[in-house]
A = this chain, B = another copy of it.
Amino acid sequence: MTSAEQVPTSRTSRRGARPTMRDVADQVGLSIKSVSRVLNGEAGVSREKAEQVVSIARELGFRRNDLARSLRRLDRTETIGVVVEHPATRFFDGLIRGINEVAGKHGALVLTATTHGVGTEHDVVTALSSRRVDGLIIAPSGTDQSYLRAERAADLPLVFVDQPPRGITADTVLSDNAGGGRLATQHLINHGHRRIGVVGSAAGKYTVRRRLTGYRDALAAAGVDGKDLIRLDCGDPAEAEAAAAELLQLPQPATALFALNSKCTIGVIRALQSAGLEQRIAVVGFDDFETADLLRPAITVITQEIEAIGRKAATQVFRRIEGSDAPLRTSQSKTHLVARGSGEIPGPCA
């Protein structure tokens, strides 16, 4: 409290230090609060001073520290987190497009984190939660989401896509996977097939189970038995290729194949090409891919309304952020069959 001169070191000169509102205020000769007002577009500062603030801020390379801002404003970061396993699939591309579209309207930044590789889903989600995103859209890759109890308890908006969460309840946006499985199978039956093989990924996965349910329903409705024609747990195209090859070499071989995701579709096509059967065996794949129409035959697929799913999920997140406490909701988007050739190859009963 003595009047000894304080000689504050200029913070801006420290390596890596970034200018603060304090620095701008000092330069303009204004209080930090006025600077804050200007930089946040609040009223109550004279035009002249305001212009000075803007110009000095620009000159200094000022960027508002949103860490501090969000801390003071009690965790409104205007950021939503998206957690996916793997960004480079048609599915996640469309999803993120849809989410971005809605988030843009709300002035929020969308940050995507990947669970592939080092970090597990749990780690990545927790990291985002600790960084206080305002909401989270999660395409689960783990098998248990009960670690999110803390976030649920704190009312952090959580929306699941592609698969429902396990171990907790939350808003969820799904595709009609069973409907898609039914569509595909029915389509093949209609084209005269009775021995319809299935190649899919992890047997325990929700989407796999649902698509399979649709397959079984369609077979049952047509009075067909398909028990020995299912090959699951194919994690990559190579495994799917092997599985498809197997289905084609059974005593009573499959005359049509239904691939439960696009990686499997690729494996199936490889198997058919190796065997020279691509014009003889029908194929329907779940999920579209960019070059599906360039193949010979072009590939018939089941498509999902992916961008719509992204929009729905984001809309729901923002509804919750704005305080909605409507009951938890699970919505389901349609799936469609796009006939391109491979699925219309006739079977023995055509």
Across-interface contacts of A114 in B (CB, < 8 A): 96, 100, 110, 112
- Of the listed stretches A159-167, A223-231, A291-299, chain B binds A291-299
Across-interface contacts of A332 in B (CB, < 8 A): none
A62 to B88, CA, bound (A): 33
> CB distance B66 to A131 under 8 Å?
yes
Partner of A87, one of B88, B124, B270: B88
A322 → chain B closest CB, angstroms: 12
- Of the listed stretches A10-18, A172-180, A209-217, A245-253, chain B binds A10-18
Across-interface contacts of A128 in B (CB, < 8 A): 109
Per assembly, the copies of the chain total 2
Q: Is A97 an interface residue (CB 8 A)?
A: yes
> CB distance B130 to A64 under 8 Å?
yes
Contact residues of A between 238 and 295, Cβ < 8 Å to B? 266, 269-270, 273, 289-291, 294-295
How does the 8 Å CB contact mask read for A82-124 relative to B, with 1 for contact and 0 for none?
A: 0000111110110011001101110001111110111100001
- Of the listed stretches A24-32, A71-79, A184-192, A193-201, chain B binds A71-79
Partner of A273, one of B124, B127, B294: B294
Residues of A that sit less than 8 Å from B by CB? 15-19, 60-68, 70-71, 74-75, 77, 79, 86-90, 92-93, 96-97, 100-101, 103-105, 109-114, 116-119, 124, 126-132, 149-151, 153-156, 266, 269-270, 273, 289-291, 294-296
Known: A61-B150, A111-B112. 17 other contacts (CB 8 A): A16-B75, A18-B75, A18-B156, A61-B153, A63-B130, A63-B150, A66-B127, A67-B77, A67-B131, A77-B131, A79-B131, A96-B114, A97-B117, A100-B117, A103-B118, A109-B128, A111-B111
Task: List, sorted by A's number, 25 A–B pairs whose CB atoms are closer than 8 Å.
Answer: A18-B154, A60-B150, A61-B149, A61-B153, A63-B129, A63-B130, A65-B132, A66-B127, A66-B131, A67-B67, A67-B71, A67-B75, A67-B131, A77-B131, A100-B118, A101-B117, A104-B119, A105-B118, A110-B114, A266-B290, A290-B291, A291-B295, A294-B295, A295-B295, A296-B296
